[in-house]
A and B are shown apart, each in its own frame.
Chain A
Amino acid sequence: MKAKVHVTLKPGVLDPQGKAIHHALGALGFAGVEAVRQGKVIELELAETDRARAEAALDEMCRKLLANTVIENYAIELTD
């Protein structure tokens, strides 16, 4: 089973990298971009075939390693 984990900064946590991307987009002439937040996508291939068990395992992986829940939120997506 394949999965994607999306890790994003929590609202209220400053994102200097997102800000730099925002400025760069403005410099390239892309008008109307109101905000940019940068995150991470982590792709995983799991031996697990049961969706519920896969989601439970991924949730634990996120809490233990993939995301730092002090500053980040995560979302789990099973892709097949």
Chain B
Amino acid sequence: MRSAVIVFPGSNREMDMVAALEQASGRKPALVWHKDSELPEVDLIVLPGGFSHGDYLRAGAMAANSPVMNEVRRRAEKGVPVLGVCNGFQILTEARLLPGALMRNASLRFVCRNVTLRVENAQTLFTGALEAGQRMTVPCAHMDGNYFADDDTLKRLEDTGGVAFRYVDAAGETTDEANPNGSRDSIAGVFNETKTVLGLMPHPEDAVDPLHGGTEGRALFAGIVKALS
């Protein structure tokens, strides 16, 4: 699987993503600067975490209008899979490649802790190697992870398998305590309509090595590599 990781000014998890992708695929991803208007031919495009452009105006708003995003949009429209994590998810919603928006955490505090995710749709190229209902514990670290979509959009997401992951407790249930940021319906990640674009707030790339304290993020990357190789 060939992949590219887009780097914006203020990205800070790009090397974590590179390490996770290389571990899973055995190939080093290309790093592409946001001002580049060309992307190498790849099987997966990844927008990593960070604080692109200092989160000025709104998290992801400036980055969504970067030169490279024209090409990311063009590839996404052709069906090239795109994964956005944390700031990458925010950028994908700002670019309207994913529905909804990510707002300030309901607590108004930066949240940095492990969260447990439940796989809601395992019938996609990203999640096909996982089981529906499967749980994985991975870290999250964000200030603006509060997923909002209007009622009609939430219903459409629900009806079409558009919800990828939800925050759950140890028993696998969605509760207010298990929801770190106030996201509507405990949504941690969503797909686009064709399930070729995935965004999620938590960081599976930071749970791929025993030194991270857990390796439950590996299964996601292993599954993506399997689907795209």
Residues of A within 8 A of B (CB): 12-14, 16-17, 20, 64-66, 68, 70-71
Query: B148 touching A17 by the CB < 8 A rule?
Result: no
B-side residues, CB < 8 A to A, are 57-58, 61-62, 65, 93-94, 99-101, 103-108, 146, 148-150, 182
Please determine whether A17 and B104 come into contact, CB atoms closer than 8 angstroms: yes
By a CB distance below 8 angstroms, the chain A residues around B61 are 65, 68
30 A-B interface contacts by CB (under 8 A): A12-B150, A13-B103, A14-B103, A14-B106, A14-B182, A16-B104, A16-B106, A16-B107, A16-B108, A16-B146, A16-B182, A17-B104, A17-B108, A20-B108, A64-B65, A65-B57, A65-B61, A65-B62, A65-B65, A66-B57, A68-B58, A68-B94, A70-B93, A70-B99, A70-B100, A70-B101, A70-B148, A70-B149, A70-B150, A71-B148
User: What chain A residues lie within 8 Å of B65 (beta carbons)?
Assistant: 64-65
Query: Across the interface, which residues of B come within 8 angstroms of A66, CB to CB?
Result: 57
Q: Is the beta-carbon distance between A68 and B106 smaller than 8 angstroms?
A: no
B151 CB, min distance to chain A CBs, angstroms: 8
Contacts A14-B182, A20-B108 given; does A71 touch B103 at CB 8 Å? yes
Q: What CA separation (Å) do A17 and B100 show in the bound complex?
A: 19
Looking at chain B's contact residues, the main secondary structure is loop
By a CB distance below 8 angstroms, the chain B residues around A12 are 150
Contact (Cβ within 8 A) B108 A68: no
Instruction: Across the interface, name the chain B residue whose C-beta is closest to A12.
Output: B150
B148 touching A13 by the CB < 8 A rule?
Answer: yes
Residue of B nearest to A64 (CB): B65
A60 to chain B, nearest CB (A): 13
**In the docked arrangement, what's the CA distance between A66 and B57, Å?**
7
What is the bound-complex CA distance between A66 and B61, given in angstroms? 9
Q: Considering the chains assembled together, what is the distance between the CA atoms of A68 and B93 in angstroms?
A: 10
Residues of B contacting A68 in the complex (Cβ-Cβ under 8 angstroms):
58, 61, 94, 101
Give the one of B58, B65, B94, B107 with max A CB within 10 A: B58
Cβ contacts under 8 Å, B104 to chain A: 16-17
Q: In the complex, how many angstroms separate the beta carbon of B182 from the nearest chain A beta carbon?
A: 7
CA distance A12 to B150 in the complex (A): 8
Q: Enumerate chain A residues within 8 angstroms of B94, measured Cβ to Cβ.
A: 68
